[in-house]
């Protein structure tokens, strides 16, 4: 028995599996001891921070957890705002390039420079602001047809609830606006190309995802983050490749019917830059990417909040429907002459700004305002508080009240009542020469969706208690699962 016992014991001692188990046990004991010793020093504070962030996220609040990397300077007087908007070394392009990572999300776009600023501003202004309304007037019937087709598609994908069709507000608004803006920008042929259309829809979402990720990750990780979140910039590269081909081929190869083609942004940007030594196909395609992001992203988010306000304020659905019915058949000019519609959209945006800060600029070098009141260090962000300006009781009596009628008190010819106004008291479009030149396109897309929905449907939330928004730093973000019920109001003659 004893020799057999010794043999078994010897086999047990020499068993490699036992060795591995003992080795892992010793390593585990060591790791546990080290972790325990570091728990109160390092890991527990980190754990508490993560739990706090998750709690804030669930409560509808989120922010950059590690604090700002550059100072933010706020200006407030009209003179300061005008100077902020026009100072050459205070760059609009650079501040948003840092925020959204244009080096990655816009294919190595150079942004820390004020070179050729005047050339770019003049082109965008002439293309979108000066000629834009004329082209939008001509495009309206085609846009209306596009809207009807795409709304029908959305309704087929909805679900029947309480005698109506339930749709997710955020996704529906994004898709409807993207389709309308796509036709304004690129015409019918490209808009109907499903691969290109899908890329147009994904690209702004990629930009926002990268913005959020870039804020919380070290800068050296940005290329990896961008590659992972955007599938190596798939949508960006597809859009730019198609645009490069169209721009490079010039106007002679535009195959679309003249009635649409001649009024698109793509056609006109080619026409306006055909003799320019500065603009080339690569630079134009990059610029169109930037304009597309601004034009397609903000309108659907504002539209989301307009729909929420309409659901909450049934009396305003009736008022706006009455105004619309008095002006059918609708076209671009009639939509621009509806004071209640303008007032409701304008008041919604005033009470629900997408960003509580506006007219952001990055100081490319140290700058002191001409009145000597503020000195801005290089790299700092200078801006205005959009929330404070739009809640100033001297400009907006009873500023916390939702009152679209406040804009009807203006003089009949005053532009202050228009949603597309540019004003230091309503800075959502920016200010001065760099005010958003595409605001007429954005406004039309929103007005078309709102007017067509109101003429055909009563709107209500599927769940009156559902969460509707959350925030990231100064930005308001829609919840993706909030749903609206569209219940047929009655057949209307358009």
Residues of the chain with pLDDT under 70: 1-23, 26, 30-71, 107-115, 251-257, 409-416, 490-494
Q: Which of 279, 329, 12 is nearest to 122 (CA)?
A: 279
Report the pLDDT value the prediction gives residue 373, as an integer from 0 to 100.
85
Residue 205, number of CB atoms within 10 A of its CB = 14
pLDDT, tens digit, 9 for 90 and up, residues 133-177: 999 999 999 999 999 999 999 999 999 998 999 999 999 999 999
Q: Are 230 and 210 in contact (CB under 8 A)?
A: yes
Looking up tokens 């010794």 gives 6
DSSP per residue over 374-429, as a string? -EE-TT-EEEEEHHHHTT-TTTSSSTTS--GGGGGGS-TT-GGGSTT--BTTBGGG
Cα distance between residue 136 and residue 272, in whole Å: 17
469-472 and 375-376: which strand pairing? unpaired
Termini Cα distance of the chain? 103
Per-residue burial over 216-240, b = 16 or more CB atoms within 10 Å of its CB, e = otherwise = eeeeeebeebbeebbeebebbebbb
Report the pLDDT value the prediction gives residue 468, as an integer from 0 to 100.
86
Burial class (CB in 10 A: 0-12, 13-18, 19+), 391: middle
Bridge partner residues of 459 (DSSP): 486
Q: Which of 424, 422, 425, 388 is nearest to 406 (CA)?
A: 425
Which alpha helices (H) appear in 106-193, and where do they start and end? Answer: 117-124, 132-156, 169-192
Q: Are 372 and 79 in contact (CB under 8 A)?
A: no
Q: Which of 193, 119, 449 is nearest to 303 (CA)?
A: 449
Cα distance between residue 41 and residue 182, in whole Å: 54
Task: Classify residue 161 by its DSSP letter.
Answer: E
Q: Are 410 and 338 in contact (CB under 8 A)?
A: no
Which alpha helices (H) appear in 437-492, and where do they start and end? Answer: 439-456
Q: Are 454 and 317 in contact (CB under 8 A)?
A: yes
Q: Tell me which long-range contacts 215-222 makes (C-beta under 8 A, separation of at least 24).
A: 215/64, 215/473, 216/64, 216/65, 216/66, 222/101, 222/103, 222/104
Q: Tell me which long-range contacts 241-249 makes (C-beta under 8 A, separation of at least 24).
A: 242/190, 242/196, 243/284, 243/285, 243/288, 243/289, 244/281, 244/282, 244/285, 246/190, 246/270, 247/281, 247/284, 247/285, 248/281
Report the pLDDT value the prediction gives residue 102, as an integer from 0 to 100.
77
Q: Are 255 and 188 in contact (CB under 8 A)?
A: no
Task: Classify residue 355 by its DSSP letter.
Answer: B
Report the pLDDT value the prediction gives residue 491, as an integer from 0 to 100.
44
367-368 and 375-376: which strand pairing? antiparallel
203: left (phi over 0), alpha (psi -120 to 50) or beta: alpha
Q: What is this structure's pTM?
A: 0.84
């Amino acid at each position: 028995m004893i020799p057999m016992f010794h043999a078994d014991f010897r086999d047990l001692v020499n068993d490699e599996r036992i060795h591995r188990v003992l080795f892992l046990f010793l390593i585990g004991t060591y790791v546990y001891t080290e972790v325990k010793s570091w728990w109160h020093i390092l890991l527990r504070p980190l754990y508490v921070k993560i739990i706090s962030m998750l709690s804030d996220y669930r409560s509808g609040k989120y922010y950059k957890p590690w604090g700002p990397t550059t100072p933010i300077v706020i200006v407030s007087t009209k003179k300061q705002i005008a100077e902020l908007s026009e100072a050459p070394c205070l760059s609009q392009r650079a501040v948003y390039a840092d925020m959204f990572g244009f080096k990655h999300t816009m294919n190595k776009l150079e942004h820390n420079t004020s070179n050729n600023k005047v050339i770019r501003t003049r082109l965008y202004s002439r293309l979108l602001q000066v000629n834009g309304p004329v082209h939008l007037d001509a495009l309206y019937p085609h846009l209306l047809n596009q809207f009807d087709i795409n709304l029908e598609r959305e309704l087929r994908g909805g679900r029947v609830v309480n005698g109506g069709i339930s749709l997710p507000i955020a996704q529906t608004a994004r898709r409807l606006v993207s389709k309308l803006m796509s036709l304004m920008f690129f015409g019918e042929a490209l808009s109907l190309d499903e691969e290109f259309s899908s890329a147009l829809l994904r690209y702004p979402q990629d930009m926002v995802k990268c913005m959020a990720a870039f804020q919380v990750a070290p800068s050296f990780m940005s290329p990896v983050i961008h590659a992972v979140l955007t599938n190596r910039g798939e949508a960006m590269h597809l859009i730019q490749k198609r645009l490069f081909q169209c721009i490079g081929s010039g106007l002679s190869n535009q195959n679309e019917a003249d009635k649409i083609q001649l009024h698109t942004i793509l056609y006109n940007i080619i026409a306006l830059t055909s003799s320019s030594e500065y603009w080339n196909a690569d630079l134009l395609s990059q610029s169109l990417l930037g304009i597309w992001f601004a034009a397609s992203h903000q309108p659907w988010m504002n539209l989301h909040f307009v729909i929420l306000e309409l659901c909450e304020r049934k009396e305003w659905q009736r008022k706006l429907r009455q105004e619309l019915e008095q002006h059918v058949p609708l076209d671009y000019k009639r939509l621009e002459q509806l004071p209640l519609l303008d007032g409701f959209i304008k008041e919604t945006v005033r009470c629900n700004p997408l960003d509580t800060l506006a007219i952001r600029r990055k100081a490319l070098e140290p700058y002191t305002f001409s009145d000597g009141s503020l000195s801005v260090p290089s790299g700092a962000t200078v801006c205005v508080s959009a929330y404070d300006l739009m809640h100033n009781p001297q400009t907006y009596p009873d500023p916390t009240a939702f009152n679209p009628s406040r804009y009807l008190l203006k003089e009949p010819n005053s532009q202050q009542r228009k949603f597309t106004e540019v004003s230091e008291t309503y800075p959502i479009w920016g200010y001065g020469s760099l005010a958003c030149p595409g605001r007429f396109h954005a406004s039309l897309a929103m007005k078309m969706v709102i007017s067509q929905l109101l003429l055909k449907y009563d709107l209500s939330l599927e769940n009156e208690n559902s969460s509707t928004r959350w925030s990231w730093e100064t930005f308001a973000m829609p919840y993706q699962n909030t749903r609206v019920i569209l219940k047929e109001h009655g057949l209307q003659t358009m």
